[in-house]
């Protein structure tokens, strides 16, 4: 999750007075229905965001009054479209959104948080240790080969305020198993973004992009779902390698020494 603003799904960097440092908002009534017997852990997560999370810059101070609705419950709402017992990679996890709320609301999910920044990786590891969550953390970017090796192919990839849809599908669909789904949290312009980037989405192996709404009230969120094609596309660089093989074969065919008569 980006914490510097620029995506309406994120909401960071908005106008309005900043609360006192470490001030923890009370959970709304809806939180108990979402988190059940893990509500206390969700409250502790919010307290960590409001305290050391703000101090370490993983969440902006102006976001504290709406940590529950705009961030935690908003993230947990994505669980409405995730299958039972799914493996999930949360790309660009940042403060742990949506991955940690999903782990709290849906303990059946098997979640890996993928984050490139070392200080945020350290933050995530501290949080999941304190909350006792069986969640893995990998440092890296979705487009990196090593990160893809460590994460493998999952049933679902989630992303919140990471990149435009065309670039996002190119980066993340290799982390999705064929037939699996990218679930990208987006703002009100999601449908227009899908229409604009449709060629890139399809070129990346994406099929059937659709926009859905999850959650209710202030915690509602817009999610773009993109299925990965069952047909495996070429691996990155495959076209270059194929052209290289053709060039070498052509060179060998033309490198024929003239026959010397005796």
Give a yes or no: residue 223 inside a domain: yes
Q: Report how far apart, in Å, the C-alpha atoms of 37 and of each of 31, 33, 43, 122 are.
A: 11, 9, 11, 27
Give a yes or no: residue 109 inside a domain: yes
Residue found by looking up tokens 């990346």 in the block: 204
Phi, psi (rounded to 5 degrees) for 34: -75, -45
**How deeply is 42 buried, as exposed, middle or buried, from its count of CB atoms within 10 A (0-12, 13-18, 19+)?**
buried
Give a yes or no: residue 62 inside a domain: yes
Identify the pLDDT of residue 235: 46
Tally of domains within the chain? 1
Which tokens hold the place of 126?
């501290």
Give a yes or no: residue 243 inside a domain: no
Please choose, from the candidates 92, 257, 106, 81, the residue with its C-alpha nearest in 3D space to the C-alpha of residue 183. 81
Identify the pLDDT of residue 105: 98
Phi, psi (rounded to 5 degrees) for 95: -80, 5
Give a yes or no: residue 63 inside a domain: yes
pLDDT tens string 167-185? 999 999 999 999 999 999 9
Give a yes or no: residue 236 inside a domain: no
3-class state of residue 107 by DSSP: coil
Give a yes or no: residue 245 inside a domain: no
Q: Report how far apart, in Å, the C-alpha atoms of 126 and of each of 67, 72, 108, 121, 207 are.
A: 19, 18, 22, 9, 37
pLDDT tens string 132-161? 999 999 999 999 999 999 999 999 999 998
Identify the pLDDT of residue 247: 53
Which tokens hold the place of 94?
């940042």
* Domain coverage including residue 180: 30-229
Identify the pLDDT of residue 251: 52
Supply the CATH number for residue 136's domain: 3.40.50.150
Which tokens hold the place of 174?
């290799």
Identify the pLDDT of residue 22: 55
Give a yes or no: residue 241 inside a domain: no
Please provide the size of the chain in residues: 262
Low-confidence ranges of the chain (pLDDT < 50): 1-8, 10-21, 234-243, 253-254, 256-262
């Amino acid at each position: 999750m980006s914490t510097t603003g620029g995506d309406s799904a994120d909401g960071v960097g908005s106008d309005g007075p900043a609360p006192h440092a470490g001030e923890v908002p009370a959970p709304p009534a809806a939180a108990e229905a979402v988190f059940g017997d893990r509500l206390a852990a969700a409250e502790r997560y919010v307290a960590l965001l409001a305290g050391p999370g703000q101090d370490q810059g993983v969440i902006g101070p102006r976001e504290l009054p709406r940590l529950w609705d705009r961030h935690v419950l908003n993230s947990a709402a994505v669980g409405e479209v995730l299958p039972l017992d799914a493996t999930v990679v949360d790309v660009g996890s940042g403060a742990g959104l949506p991955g940690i709320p999903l782990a709290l609301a849906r303990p059946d999910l098997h979640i890996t948080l993928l984050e490139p920044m070392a200080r945020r990786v350290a933050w995530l590891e501290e949080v999941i240790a304190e909350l006792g969550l069986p969640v893995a953390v990998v440092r890296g970017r979705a487009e990196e080969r090593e990160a893809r090796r460590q994460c493998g192919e999952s049933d679902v990839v989630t992303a919140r305020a990471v990149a435009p849809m065309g670039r996002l599908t190119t980066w993340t669909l290799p982390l999705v198993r064929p037939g699996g789904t990218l679930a990208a949290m987006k703002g009100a312009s999601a449908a227009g973004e899908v229409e604009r980037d449709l060629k890139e989405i399809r070129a990346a192996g994406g099929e059937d992009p659709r926009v859905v709404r999850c959650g209710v009230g202030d915690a509602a969120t817009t999610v773009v779902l993109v299925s990965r094609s069952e047909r495996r596309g070429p691996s990155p660089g495959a076209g270059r390698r194929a052209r290289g093989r053709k060039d070498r074969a052509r060179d060998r065919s033309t490198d024929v020494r003239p026959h010397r008569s005796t």
